[in-house]
Structure 1
Amino acid sequence: MTRLVHLSDLHFGRTAPELLDPLLRAVNAAEPDLVAVTGDFTQRARRSQYRDARAFLRRLKAPWMAVPGNHDVSLDNLWLRFVRPYRRYRRFITEEMMPVKHLPGLTVVGFNTVDRFRWQRGKIRWLQMRQACRIFSESKGLNVVLAHHPFEQDPDVEKSLMRDADQAIERLSECGAHVVLSGHLHRWRTEPFLSRKHGAQVLQVHVGTGLSTRLRGQENDFAILDLESHSASIRRMIAREKHFVEDERRHYSFGENGWERSPDWPVRSEPSPRHDAPIN
C-alpha cells in the first residue's frame, strides 16, 4: 500500500497563520510516501510569498511533488506574466513543469494547466497528455495525475471549466489513468468521473484549500489517500479548533466497471514503511 497526502491552494500571502503548524503536524504525522501539491502556492506570486511556500515545503518530512496554479504566475507584473510566467515558481519551488514520480505500485505525473493569457481558466497541454499516456502505458500499477484545474465541476461553480476538459477525461480513461488529484475551486469533491465511452475508469479527488482564508463555504482541508492496485481509501482531513481531524472516509474498489464505492475495504492503521523508490 502506498500513501499520498494531497494538498492544494495554500495561498501564502493570504493564509490563516494559526493553521500553519497544525497542517504541518497533521501531514507529517500521516507519514506519507509522497506529498502532492496541486498549485496556488501563493496569492500574488510575489517573492516573499514564494519564500514562505518554500519554507513550508522544507518542513515536510516526506518527499513532495508539485504543479503550479493560476495564482503562481504574476497578476500585476505583466512583463513577468507574459514573458517569464514561471520564473519565480522555478526558482522557489521546482524547475520541473511536468514532474514524474515512480513509487512502488504507483506512477504519478503532474500537468501544468496554467494559462498565462487567462486569469482563472486553465488549459490542457496536449503534448503533456501524450507524454503522460506514454508513461502510463509502461506502468504496471496505478496511474495518478496531478493538475491544479479540475476536469469536472459542479453546475453551481462560477469559474469556467478548462476548455476540452471532457475530451481530456476521455483520453485519460483510454490511456490508463486511474486517479486525478486537483484543486482550484476551494471545494471538496471525491467521486469517479463518468466517461462517455469508458465509464468510471478515473477517480477524482478534489480538495479545498489547506491554509487560505478564501473559503467557499467549506473548511480548510487536505486528503490522505491509501492506494493499492485495485483499491483506494480517501480520508478528508478538516481544520477544527486549530487541529486537523478526519471528517470523512471513502473507499473504492477498481473492477470491470471501473471505480465503485466499497465501504467494506480495510484501511491501513499504521503508516507505511519507507520505500527505496526514485522520489528525489
Structure 2
Amino acid sequence: MHGKVSDMFSGPIKLFHLSDIHFGLEDRRALSWVEACITREKPHAVAITGDLTMRARHREFDAANAWISALDVPVTVEVGNHDLPYFNLIERFVTPYKRFARIKRLVEAQLDLPGLAIVPLKTTTRGQWQRFPWSNGWVTERALDETLDAIDSHPPGTRILIAAHHPLTERRERDGKLLTINGTRTMEVLAGRGVAAVLSGHIHDPFDLTVDTAAGPLRMIGAGTLSRRIRSTPPSFNEIVIDGARIHVTARNLEHVATPDMQIRQVPENALPPRESGEPVAPVGAVPPVDPPVH
C-alpha cells in the first residue's frame, strides 16, 4: 500500500517517529503533548512503529484508532506484538488485523516523499514454533522479500527508511539469547541495499546505533514509549530530520532530558524495566520502582 505525500515542498524533511503507545496503559499527558506538537509543527509524516494497544482489546483499539484518525498528517502504522489478539486465537490466526479496521489504509503503508520513502518491514508473527510467548521478532522470508521488492521499485538515489516494530538485533549481547529471528541476515541485506536507517520500537527506550554487517554499516533508530510502561527513560518520541545525506535524531520528551541522556547503548531483550546487572540503562536512569500492572 502506498501513500503519496505532497511533493510541493523542498528542503529538509521532518518526521515524527512514535512507538509503543499502548492504549490501555497510555500516558494521557504525553499523548496530549505529542498531539499538540503534530498540530502545531505539521511534520511531513508520522511513522508509528507498533504496539498501539496493551492487550489488543476492542476498547483499546477503539481509542487507538480514534486518536490516530484525528492526526492531520500522513501516517504509516506498523503492527506490534501487543496488537495481535491475545484471547481470541481464532481471530489471531485467521483475521489478525481485523481490529485495525478504521485505520486499515494506514497499516503497513508505504509513504513516498520527495527523494525519500518509508518502507514497512513486518517483524510480528501470529505464532512461532521456535519459542513461546510470541512477543519477540521474526523476519520471515516472505516479509523480507516484500520489503526488498518495495525498495527495488524506487528510482536509484531514493533514500529509504525501513519501519518495523522489533529491532533487528538477533542475539542479546551479554548471553547470546535469541531476540529477532533472521535479524542478522536482514540487516546485512538492507545494508547492501543502501538503506539509510531502520526505525523500530518495542523496547521503550530510544536509541541510535550503527551496526556493522558483512555488507556495510546499518543505522538503527529506536523510539521510546508514550505509555506509563516506561523502562529507563521518560515517555518520548523521535523527531527525525532528513537533510540530504544527513539524518538528525532528537528524542523529544516532556522532561526536557537531552537526547544523549535518553538513548541506550545496547538493545535489550524486551520492554521490562531493567532489574538485573548488565541490562542496558539510559544515562538518565529513570527506572520505575515497579512496572504498572496490566489487568
In 2, Cα distance between equivalents of 1:56 and 1:157: 40
Q: Is 1:101 the equivalent of 2:86?
A: no
Task: Report the equivalent of 2:163.
Answer: 146
Q: 2:148 aligns with which of 133, 140, 153?
A: 133
Contact 2:225 2:236 (8 Å CA) reproduced: yes
Q: Is 1:203 the equivalent of 2:219?
A: yes
Task: Report the equivalent of 2:14.
Answer: 3
The 1:8–1:67 alpha-carbon spacing in structure 2 relative to 1, beyond 3 Å, is same
Contact 2:204 2:231 (8 Å CA) reproduced: yes
The 1:62–1:95 alpha-carbon spacing in structure 2 relative to 1, beyond 3 Å, is closer
- 2:104 maps to amino acid: T
Q: Determine helix, strand or coil for the equivalent of 2:254.
A: strand
Q: Determine helix, strand or coil for the equivalent of 2:32.
A: helix
Relative to total residues, which structure has the larger strand share, 1 or 2?
1
> When the two structures are aligned, how many residues end up with a matched partner?
242
The CA deviation string for residues 208-242 of structure 1, in whole angstroms up to 9 with x for no partner, is 102x11111211110011113311111110132xx
In 2, Cα distance between equivalents of 1:39 and 1:98: 10
- 2:56 maps to amino acid: A
1:71-82 maps to which residues of 2 (within 5 A)? 71-82=82-93
Q: 1:191 aligns with which of 209, 219, 229?
A: 209
Q: 1:217 aligns with which of 207, 224, 232?
A: 232
In 1, Cα distance between equivalents of 2:14 and 2:29: 26
Identical-residue share of aligned pairs (%):
27
Task: Report the equivalent of 1:167.
Answer: 185
The 1:87–1:185 alpha-carbon spacing in structure 2 relative to 1, beyond 3 Å, is same
The 1:235–1:215 alpha-carbon spacing in structure 2 relative to 1, beyond 3 Å, is same
The CA RMSD measured in Å over matched residues stands at 2.3
Q: 1:117 aligns with which of 116, 122, 127?
A: 127
Task: Report the equivalent of 1:259.
Answer: none
Runs of at least 5 residues in structure 2 that lack an aligned partner in the other structure: 1-11, 129-133, 262-295
Tell me by how many angstroms 1:8 deviates.
0.3
Task: Report the equivalent of 1:277.
Answer: none
In 2, Cα distance between equivalents of 1:62 and 1:249: 28
Higher relative contact order at CA 8 Å, sep ≥6: structure 1 or structure 2? Answer: 1
The 1:227–1:35 alpha-carbon spacing in structure 2 relative to 1, beyond 3 Å, is same
Task: Report the equivalent of 1:253.
Answer: none
In 1, Cα distance between equivalents of 2:163 and 2:119: 6
The CA deviation string for residues 18-70 of structure 1, in whole angstroms up to 9 with x for no partner, is 32211211233332100000000011111111111112112322111111000
Contact 1:223 1:236 (8 Å CA) reproduced: yes
The 1:51–1:105 alpha-carbon spacing in structure 2 relative to 1, beyond 3 Å, is same
Runs of at least 5 residues in structure 1 that lack an aligned partner in the other structure: 251-280
Task: Report the equivalent of 1:57.
Answer: 68
Q: Determine helix, strand or coil for the equivalent of 1:93.
A: helix
Contact 2:76 2:108 (8 Å CA) reproduced: no
Tell me by how many angstroms 1:17 deviates.
2.1
Contact 2:172 2:179 (8 Å CA) reproduced: no
Q: Is 1:178 the equivalent of 2:189?
A: no
